[in-house]
Amino acid sequence: DSGVTQTPKHLITATGQRVTLRCSPRSGDLSVYWYQQSLDQGLQFLIQYYNGEERAKGNILERFSAQQFPDLHSELNLSSLELGDSALYFCASSVGTQETQYFGPGTRLLVL
Amino acid sequence: EDQVTQSPEALRLQEGESSSLNCSYTVSGLRGLFWYRQDPGKGPEFLFTLYSAGEEKEKERLKATLTKKESFLHITAPKPEDSATYLCAVRSNSGGSNYKLTFGKGTLLTVNP
């Protein structure tokens, strides 16, 4: 158990809908990262927050957004969902911005 | 842009049969090479971080090594419980962002009893 928690574990929704994924980092970690894992693309970095501020953006679609709250938990919002958004979404956390990232158990999203 | 290539894509071993997994990388200014283990449907589990060529780290039956162009994960006398996908990732100075990890697609290791 890495200490990173993610909810929900599974999510099934329809195209065009909007969902919110939640992540709580390990105690003491200030950085939160979001990754998407699909069968063909592997693990792809989406976005990073450090102590409430956005620090880096990767291959994140405009339909996706994220934020980190004062209690350091983070939410990833996915809107106007398409079939191709079906994937595993992982959150990771680290103490700062350079240290080892520890991953949560993931949220499996299925868009029908 | 950082690139990470892992080989082989899949590896099947008999219990006790030692082998190595390869991770080749192309980066601008390596800031760390990471090995993770991932079980089906689970999140990646951290194994090792290597920072400079020549560095080696060990944990139980696993040993990771690093050169200027690649890293190897050596598995000595593997057991069935070592079966998993092993992921390699790099962090670099590319693009002005040294925060993200760039992952390879992984090697699926199966160890038969």
pLDDT band at A35 (very low <50, low <70, confident <90, very high): very high
| Lowest-confidence region among A90-99, B43-52, B63-72, B73-82 | A90-99
Chain A contact for B5, CB < 8 A?
no
Which helix (H) or strand (E) is B17 found in, with range?
none
Q: Do B99 and A108 touch (CB under 8 A)?
A: no
Q: Does A112 touch chain B (CB under 8 A)?
A: no
Which backbone phi and psi does B35 adopt, to 5 degrees? -115, 135
Q: What pLDDT shows up at residue B95?
A: 62
Residues 8-67 of A with CB under 8 A from B: 31, 33, 42-45, 48, 55-56, 58
Does the beta carbon of A93 lie under 8 angstroms from any beta carbon of chain B?
no
Residue A75 near residue A58, CB atoms below 8 Å = no
Q: What percentage of chain A carries pLDDT values higher than 90? A: 86
Give all strands of the β-sheet with B62-66 in edge-to-edge order.
Answer: B3-7, B19-26, B70-75, B62-66, B56-59
Q: Is the pLDDT of residue A15 over 90?
A: yes
Contact yes or no for A46/A76 (Cβ under 8 A) = yes
Q: What is the DSSP-derived secondary structure letter of residue B90?
A: E
Q: What are phi and psi of A106, to 5 degrees?
A: 90, 160
**pLDDT band with cut points at 50, 70 and 90 for residue A59:** confident
Radius of gyration of chain B (CA): 14
Among the residue ranges A61-65, A96-100, B2-6, the one predicted with the least confidence is A96-100
- pLDDT score at B1: 83
A2 and B103 within 8 Å at the Cβ level: the answer is no
Residue B28 banded pLDDT, cuts 50, 70, 90? confident
DSSP string for A20-69: EEEEEPPTT--EEEEEEEETTTEEEEEEEEETTEEEEE-S--TTEEEEE-
Q: Of A15-19, A62-66, B1-5, B12-16, where does mean pLDDT reach its minimum? A: B1-5
Spell out which residues of chain B touch residue A102, defining contact as CB-CB under 8 Å: 46
**pLDDT score recorded for residue A40:** 80
Q: Residue A1 — pLDDT band, cuts 50, 70, 90?
A: confident
Q: Which band of pLDDT confidence, cut at 50, 70 and 90, is reported for residue B97? A: low
Q: For A15-20, what is the mean pLDDT?
A: 98
A20: which 2 tokens?
Answer: 């919110």
CB contact under 8 A, A43 and B89: yes
The reply to whether B107 touches chain A by the CB within 8 Å rule is no
Cβ atoms of A4 and A103 closer than 8 Å: yes
The pLDDT tens digits for B100-112 are 889 999 999 999 9
Partner-chain residue, chosen from B31, B43, B49, that has the shortest CB–CB distance to A105: B43
Whole-number percent of chain A with pLDDT over 70:
100
Whether the per-residue pLDDT at B96 is higher than 70: the answer is no
Q: How far is CA B11 from CA A27, A81, B67, B69, in A?
A: 37, 36, 22, 22
Torsion sign over Cα A9, A101, B80, A36:
positive
Distance from CA of B16 to the nearest CA of A (A): 27
The alpha-carbon gap from A99 to the nearest alpha carbon of chain B, in Å, equals: 9
